[in-house]
Structure 1
Amino acid sequence: MAEIERGVEDIFELLFTELQQSTRASEANCREVSGRIAAEVERICQQSKRIQASGEVRTWAIALSRHRLQQCLNYYKLGSQAGRIDLHSTLSAIVYRYITPPQVQSSYQARLNLIEDFLQGFYLEALNAFRREAQLEATFSPSTLLELAEYMAFTERYGKRRIPLPGGRSQQLIVLRAQTFSQQQPPETIVDMEQAAEGASLDSDRTWNDSSVQQVREAMVDPDSLSAEDSLRETVIQELMTYLQNRDQQDCADYFALRLQDLPTAEIEAILGLTPRERDYLQQRFKYHLIRFALSHRWELVHEWLEADLDHNLGLSPSQWQTFQQKIGPEQVKLLELKQQNLPEAQIAQALGCTLNQVQKRWFKLLEVAWEIRNH
């Protein structure tokens, strides 16, 4: 027992010294947080049969302490606002695919609203769990930046806890909570939320950064582009989501939603339950649909958003525009001239002596040439 107490004291001193050196928190505050982390680590080491059987309890205790300390310091360095955004983004990405019942066809915005509602309740559950496990008063609430960082780090770990399930399986606690939450949502509630949704805020991998889609990616993950609920960016995102869902590409829509948060590949694979090979296939399929959407389905909208429409020479610089005109043939030059006159496609088809479908295919090829020049 004396050895255990000495081990706890050593861990406390390690945590206390590091917090004093790495934060601006008061000495008393550093002592309180260090004491809670040390007590949690001691409890885990005592209750874990695997740690007890390892014969390396102290090694485990130090590793767990350093892990919790680093999590706490990461949120502390982010600060109150950025820390909340980071935690919200992390947990949203985990529950995204579970939060809407599969039998309900809800929009992307409606799903974001449901995730927001779910997480607000989960944050309260995590706070109550934190109070209970740290033996704090029922009225305790983080009042300093260090305490807030401690609580956010705990909330992330709490959500990621593995809960044993029948058949030797396990699942993250937050996923189980999200599944229960979704099952409790009546269909009419989701429909009402979808109709009421007017917008939502959105707080890599070689293919995602390929030149053909890099402009779209950069604009979509750029928080500075969020100016209003009805911004062009939001319209593009919503229309792309609808485009994917209408073509029974919900897995591509889920992948896109996670990519919007700029999550690393390994985390996306874990969230979607995919092997690297399966994720690579999904990624290639998403890229195909993204290009079809951007260059064919809604090219005017996407190009206007990227300031690469006809009024801006398809986003090409003067030298690139000259190269573009040299690379296209006489028929494509004629098509471009007719498009610049804002003529309807039926009239363009008549002028070129071809069908509407042929006009669309030729225009798609022409836009591909422009994108290639612009991105290289």
Structure 2
Amino acid sequence: MPSVRNARVIFNEIPTDYPLPGKHVVYDTSKTIDLENVPLDGGVLVKILVLSIDPYLRRMMVGRDVQNFSPPFELGQPIVNYGVAVVLRSENPAIRKGDHVVGLEGQFPFQEYAIVHDFSTVRVVENTENIPWSVYVGVLGMPGETAFYGWTEFAKHKKGDVVFVSGAAGPVGATVVQLAKAEGLKVIASAGSDDKVAFVKSIGADVAFNYKTTSTREVLDREGPLNLYWDNVGGETLETAIEFSARHARVIVCGNISAYNTKSPYGVKNLQLLIWREITLHGFLFDSLRPKHAAAFFRTMPGRVASGAVRYKEHVVHGLENAGQAILDVQEGRNFGKSVVVVAE
């Protein structure tokens, strides 16, 4: 069999603000691969089916001199993230041809085919619930795990608590809304458009509003005080949530997208309230909590998703060549639901 194209998306240039397709992130078709004869050296050859587009990808487009939670992307090399792939060849007895695997911490490169050697970075998925494979990078992947692990570890909720979730139409925020409602709590939720607000209401939020047209301060003043704030945004929204938090409130800091594309992020000015009201901030990375909570997540969440008890929304982009635009759309908030790139059916 002759070699076939192995298109990829490479990190071409460090952006100073928003990452632009064709400039900072470039689609490249110059590479090929011999699927039958390429040496595996004990590894597994996979065909990439789905790749995840997440807000934090912008944080990986920095220089190596920038302090970061994980090594940044390498210039001239494919960007990487979580994905789903099907096995074409395997030299690992635990992984068979035809298995579907999900990339975990090691992640998959943004290309059509890849060879995996680190088997701690992949998980074989049976998918007995017959859920679309794209969901395994969404509510049943890193975003869903993030919501489940952070909520389970830090919420410490009690009856009557009031919860505020920013970025509530995204895959993490929407899952948190539903976890909180399943516990009978009052949920306030913000999103960036009227259709996103409608979706958040449909999954159970008691109060949902468009933060672009409605004052967050006025909503929290009327509906608070807050016992829990799940922060996907940072900046001024975090400052406002702290202002309207109750004594002994918990703030779960998950994301900071308001600061990802600016050199001058908003400085929160009321941190003294953390002391005066004995508020606790919890920052976390989901993979640090995986060893503690993964078993419960994978035991319970697929069934809840399959039954409709936990709902999700996807923003599906077809074609690896459109990955750069999908990354930009997420940074600018133009996606509605979990953004995924379908590389192959």
TM-score range, shorter chain: under 0.3
Q: More helix per residue: 1 or 2? A: 1
TM-score normalised by the chain length of structure 1: 0.23
Higher relative contact order (CA 8 A, sep 6+): 2
Q: More strand per residue: 1 or 2? A: 2
